């Protein structure tokens, strides 16, 4: 029956476009609380640590590391067969409502939830939401927390990766070389974009040629771990320079901050052809392609020394 349902979904185009989620892409704790009993969503606690010390009542443990690449390329795509086996153990179904909970202590925590959301959407899960503010907002709303390790009846999945929301290294290299037209958006803070800082796993500082800088922090009120819901789609499109029919590609160091940016642009602002470059600057810089805003040899050495000291 599951094989038939999957085939039907693919035939009707559901494999490449998610349903309107039960709660919408972004749900507040109060709204979630009011509908927990009727909607009965699957709650995913994606923190890498702390689950056994206390988690949202009923939440399954699905640590962020399940959705990440190796240390030398943290933003790399996960092995779909491995992910399939792990999600089957959690009993996930592709059409069931799923709410993703990050730690929720800082704005960077949101990136973990957004990356999990993007991965699940790209593997045909159709009813996805992120709890705005994560576990912190859950607790602030007075919702129950326990230390019981939750489990579910294993499911049977057949995951394939849909590249509708994916930009590869080859894609962005083609844009950088002028062989392809797309809007490249560096979602990192300005010091990374300007080549003054770099991720430890990146070969060089700098950014993608032709890229514009629009930090993911733009979508958060200063100091808040919860994403602002006051996003004006028209104003955002104008700020970024979004053009109809042209891909808008969000990237960062490892596809973490950029996942937040993609989520805001694609899921909240409704920008079509919005894509995430998951490997981002770590993957790109190590591939040896041309970069922009790359400092000279001596300046690069100073940057590396500063990063070691700090």
Whether residue 262 is found in the same domain as residue 236: yes
Q: Is the pLDDT of residue 261 over 60?
A: yes
- Confidence band (pLDDT; 50, 70, 90) for 305? low
Whether residue 244 is found in the same domain as residue 193: yes
Last residue of one domain, picked from the residues 129, 161, 193: 161
Q: Are the C-beta atoms of 248 and 265 separated by less than 8 Å?
A: yes
Please give the Cα distance from 47 to 38 (Å, whole number). Answer: 26
Tell me the CATH number at 229: 3.40.250.10
Instruction: Pick 40 or 310 by higher pLDDT.
Output: 40
Please give the Cα distance from 2 to 225 (Å, whole number). Answer: 38
Instruction: With 0.85 as the threshold, say if the pTM is over it.
Output: yes
Whether residue 93 is found in the same domain as residue 188: no
- How do residues 35-44 score in pLDDT, each as one tens digit? 999 999 999 9
Whether residue 15 is found in the same domain as residue 156: yes
Mean pLDDT of the chain: 90
Whether residue 112 is found in the same domain as residue 243: no
Whether residue 112 is found in the same domain as residue 191: no
Whether residue 137 is found in the same domain as residue 191: no
pLDDT of the residue at 16: 34
- How do residues 68-127 score in pLDDT, each as one tens digit? 999 999 999 999 999 999 999 999 999 999 999 999 999 999 999 999 999 999 999 999
pLDDT of the residue at 201: 94
Whether residue 141 is found in the same domain as residue 171: no
Q: Is the pLDDT of residue 310 over 90?
A: no
Whether residue 180 is found in the same domain as residue 150: no
- Confidence band (pLDDT; 50, 70, 90) for 4? very low
pLDDT of the residue at 304: 57
Question: Tokens representing 284?
Answer: 């790109």
Q: In the chain, which residue ranges form alpha helices assigned H by DSSP?
A: 2-11, 29-39, 80-89, 109-122, 134-140, 169-176, 190-193, 233-240, 257-262, 280-286, 297-309
Last residue of one domain, picked from the residues 132, 161, 190: 161
- How do residues 196-249 score in pLDDT, each as one tens digit? 999 999 999 999 999 999 999 999 998 899 999 899 999 999 999 999 999 999
Whether residue 196 is found in the same domain as residue 296: yes
Please give the Cα distance from 170 to 160 (Å, whole number). Answer: 21
Q: Is the pLDDT of residue 308 over 80?
A: no
Report how many domains make up the chain.
Answer: 2
pLDDT of the residue at 297: 54
- How do residues 164-182 score in pLDDT, each as one tens digit? 999 999 999 999 999 999 9
pLDDT of the residue at 223: 84
3-state secondary structure of 145: strand
For the ranges 182-186, 190-194, 302-306, the lowest mean pLDDT is seen at 302-306
For residue 251, what are the domain limits? 166-309
Whether residue 228 is found in the same domain as residue 143: no
Q: Is the pLDDT of residue 8 over 50?
A: no
Last residue of one domain, picked from the residues 103, 135, 161: 161
Whether residue 175 is found in the same domain as residue 285: yes
């Amino acid at each position: 029956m599951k094989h038939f349902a999957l085939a039907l979904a693919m035939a009707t185009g559901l494999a490449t476009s998610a349903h309107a989620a039960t709660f919408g892409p972004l749900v507040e704790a109060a709204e979630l609380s009011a509908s927990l009993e009727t909607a009965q969503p699957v709650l995913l606690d994606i923190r890498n640590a702390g689950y056994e010390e206390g988690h949202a009542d009923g939440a399954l443990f699905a640590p962020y590391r399940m959705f990440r690449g190796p240390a030398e390329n943290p933003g790399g795509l996960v092995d779909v067969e491995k992910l399939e086996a792990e999600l089957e153990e959690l009993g996930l179904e592709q059409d069931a409502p799923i709410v993703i909970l990050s730690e929720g202590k800082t704005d960077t925590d949101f990136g973990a939830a957004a990356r999990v959301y993007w991965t699940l959407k790209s593997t045909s899960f159709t009813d996805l939401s992120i709890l705005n503010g994560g576990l912190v907002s859950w607790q602030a709303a007075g919702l129950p927390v326990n230390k019981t390790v939750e489990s579910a009846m294993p499911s049977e999945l057949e995951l394939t990766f849909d590249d509708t929301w994916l930009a590869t290294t080859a894609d962005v290299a083609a844009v950088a070389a002028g062989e392809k037209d797309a809007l490249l958006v560096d979602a990192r803070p300005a010091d990374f974009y300007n080549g003054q800082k770099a991720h430890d796993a990146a070969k060089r500082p700098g950014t993608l040629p032709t890229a514009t800088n629009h930090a993911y922090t733009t979508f958060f009120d200063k100091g808040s771990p919860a994403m602002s819901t006051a996003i004006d789609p028209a104003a955002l499109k104008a700020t970024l320079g979004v053009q109809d029919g042209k891909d808008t590609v969000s990237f960062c160091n490892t596809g973490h901050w950029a996942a937040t940016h993609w989520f805001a642009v694609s899921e909240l602002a409704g920008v079509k052809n919005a894509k995430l470059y998951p490997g981002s600057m770590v993957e790109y810089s190590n591939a040896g392609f041309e970069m922009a805003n790359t400092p000279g040899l001596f300046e690069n050495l100073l940057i590396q020394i500063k990063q070691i000291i700090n």
